[in-house]
Amino acid sequence: MKSMKITKFVVKVTRGDSRIPEYVQYIDCMPIVTTKNRKLALVMGKFTAEDVVDSLQHRSRCDPELESVEVHV
């Protein structure tokens, strides 16, 4: 059986002076928890990821962006 590739998204966050990107790890708590380890990032669908980006843009001083990830199913 062949595995399929599906495109999912992680949300990358850059904060002010930090050169190290962080990735959203949890979204079900306040504030949103981030991690510097991309493998621990929350992999989500495009609409959920866009909601997270919108939420972060409105309530924090960071620059969130979507980053696509190939997921094997």
Nearest to 42, CA basis, from 18, 22, 26: 26
pLDDT in tens, 41-67: 999 999 999 988 888 887 767 788 999
pLDDT band at residue 18 under the 50/70/90 scheme: confident
pLDDT exceeding 90 applies to what percent of the chain?
36
SS3 for the chain is: CCCCEEEEEEEEEEECCCCCCEEEEECCCCCCEEECCHHHCCCECHHHHHHHHHHHHHHCCEEEEEEEEEEEC
Ordered by start, the domain boundaries in the chain are 5-72
